[in-house]
Each structure stands twice: as C-alpha cells, then as structure tokens.
Amino acid sequence: LHVHTGTRTEQTTAQSLAKAVSELRRSDVAFPVAETLGIPQLRAGQEMPEAKVLVLYTGGTIGMKSVDGVYVPVAHYLPEAVRELPPLNDKAYVEAHYAGAAIKPLCLPPVRHMHKRVLYWVCALPIKYPRLMEGVGKLVFRAVVILIVEYHPLLDSSDMTFDDWIRIARDISASYDMFDGFVVLHGTDTMAYTSSVLSFMLENLRKPVVVTGAQIPICEVRSDGRDNFIGSLIIAGELIIPEVTLYFDNKLLRGNRAIKYDNFGLNAFISPNMQPLAHMEIDIKGDIQKNSLQLINPFSQFNFFRNVCVK
C-alpha cells in the first residue's frame, strides 16, 4: 500500500497504517462554523462532528495525468494533487486539528446544509470510529474525514480480474468497523461489473460503499471527476444508504443494476430496469427513493462472502 502523509508518499502495510490512524487524535483548536451554512442545530462558533471515509484508489481515468496530450496513470499523483485542490480539501481545518498527525487526513470544505465535516484518507486501513445508525436513507450531519489508499499497480479497469475484486472486498471488510463509509475510485470500463460483484460479496451492509470514477481526470480544468468524487464522499459520509452503489453524473444507482452505455458522454451509466436510488440536486439530500433502499436487519452481521469469485 502507498499513502500520502501530507508531505510525502510512503510505502506501508495495512497493520502499521491501522495502528497510526487508530492513534490519531483531534486537537481542541476552535474552528468556527460559518453562519451561512444553513445548519439550524449549530450556532456560529460551534463545530461540526466528523465522519470518516476510506477511499480505495484502484486506478482509472479519474486519477490520470495529462502527459503530452495523453492521459496516463501516474503513481502517487492523485493523493498529492487532491490535497492542493480547495474544493476537495480544507487545508486550514486539517492544519488546525491534525497538524501533528503522522498521516494527515483530507477534509471536505463545509457545505451548506451539511451538519458534519467529512474527513477522508485515500488508503486501505482500519480506523476505530463508532457510528450511530439513524435510519435508512436519512441524512446525518457531520464533517467527512477522508483517507485515500492507492493500490499498486494502478490498473486500467479493463485489466480488472477476480483477484482484484477479492482484494477490494477484503480491504473493505478489514476496515469495516473503523469507517463510516467507503468510496472506490475505479475506471469506467468495468465499473459496473465491480459494483455488481461487490454487492454480492459484501453481505448485510450497514454502511455505504460507493463506486465512482470519471470520463475526464479530476485535475483537468474541465472535469466530471471532481463532482463525482465530491458527491460520492457526501453520500458515504452523510447518507445512510447501506448497500453497494454506483455514483455518476449526479445519479446514485444500485450497484448490481447499473450498466455503462456511453463511452463519450458524461452521463455514462444508466440503470435500465430500475430508477436511480437518489439524485444529487440543489439540496444535498437530493431525491432519495426510500422505498427502493435495502433495509437494515438489526439482527444480521456484516459478512465478507469470499466464494462469489472462483476460478
């Protein structure tokens, strides 16, 4: 595994990374909430609670770099670049609360009507963080803290195999109790296959697993990748949709009901036999089809079903 610490990229193991992040402590530095965020429960000066999201970066166009006019995968490029993109990382918040952390998270800037900050790491490791389930399809308000883990080697999604699907599911399973949600960054060619397979491998989910990607890299001036990534982080950190989904072009599709039907358009994925589970509209909550969501069985336990993919 490779993880960007905030200053450099380091090679590590899941065990050592888990230990480092489990020891992560938030400082008590005051970081006021703007009065214009539309959060009735918080007064100016109060802070938003945090949600933690694990981002698994497998490869694909979303993280590619333009070299001589051609998009190419570049190791360690995406985690470093995301830290410098203001719409994707609130550097002031991270420095205020996690300046001394060995592995600094990333954090979505505050969004109007979001009641939580989303902290995230692009990396595969467990983080202990309790979560209160408030009901399927409900919006919970907190900051989203993010960790991005980069797989090695980065894959063109057309090269995805059974072993890669098992690896993704295994990493989610190993980190399941420590995160509030998961985002898988993936190439578009086989994204629908991956989301479908994961939906059968990850049984009795109580947390969102969102698969997304892009037609244009995230760091290009004109990019669908930023919106797809931000929307996926909001869903994984804010909404309680306990299943594997595919998010693209402001639509949230059930993971095993999505297909890619357009190689050149930004609206690349559709669900012919089922309406989208949600639309990301002006309201962050969007249009959630609550009657279509899978219900949480309070007596069932999450299970990583390994025998879906067999040779």
Whether residue 40 is contained in a domain is answered as no
Whether residue 57 is contained in a domain is answered as yes
Q: Kindly compute the dihedral angle of the four CA atoms of residues 129, 134, 140, 144, in this order, to the nearest 10 degrees.
A: 20
What is the chain's alpha carbon radius of gyration, rounded to the nearest angstrom?
18
pLDDT reported for residue 187: 94
Given a cut of 90, whether residue 103 has pLDDT beyond it is no
Residue 17 near residue 147 (C-beta atoms within 8 A): no
Whether residue 86 is contained in a domain is answered as yes
CATH of the domain at 169: 3.40.50.1170
Length of the chain: 311
Given a cut of 70, whether residue 234 has pLDDT beyond it is yes
Provide the token pair at 303: 């299970």
Whether residue 32 is contained in a domain is answered as no
> Is 249 annotated as belonging to a binding site?
no
Amino acid found at 30: A
pLDDT reported for residue 227: 95
In the set 12, 58, 188, 194, the catalytic residue is: 188
* Strand-strand pairing, 202-203 and 106-107: unpaired
Given a cut of 50, whether residue 186 has pLDDT beyond it is yes
Residue 112 near residue 36 (C-beta atoms within 8 A): yes
The answer for 134, left when phi > 0, alpha when psi is -120 to 50, beta otherwise, is alpha
Number of domains the chain contains? 1
pLDDT reported for residue 134: 41
Amino acid found at 298: P
Whether residue 241 is contained in a domain is answered as yes
Which range among 4-8, 99-103, 161-165, 183-187 shows the weakest confidence by mean pLDDT? 4-8
> Is 189 annotated as belonging to a binding site?
yes
Mean pLDDT across the chain: 79
Residue 185 near residue 62 (C-beta atoms within 8 A): yes
Q: What is the pTM of this model?
A: 0.83
Whether residue 109 is contained in a domain is answered as yes
> Is 36 annotated as belonging to a binding site?
no
- Which of residues 132 and 59 earns the better pLDDT score? 59
Give the DSSP H or E segment for 237. helix 225-238
Give me the mean pLDDT over the 158-184 stretch: 88
Residue 185 near residue 157 (C-beta atoms within 8 A): no
**What is the number of helices (H) and of strands (E) in the chain?**
6, 18
* Strand-strand pairing, 70-72 and 65-67: antiparallel
Annotated active-site residue 188? The verdict is yes
pLDDT reported for residue 243: 94
Range of the structural domain that residue 101 is part of: 2-6+47-308
Whether residue 26 is contained in a domain is answered as no
Whether residue 122 is contained in a domain is answered as yes
The separation between CA 69 and the C-alpha centre of its own chain, rounded to angstroms, equals 28
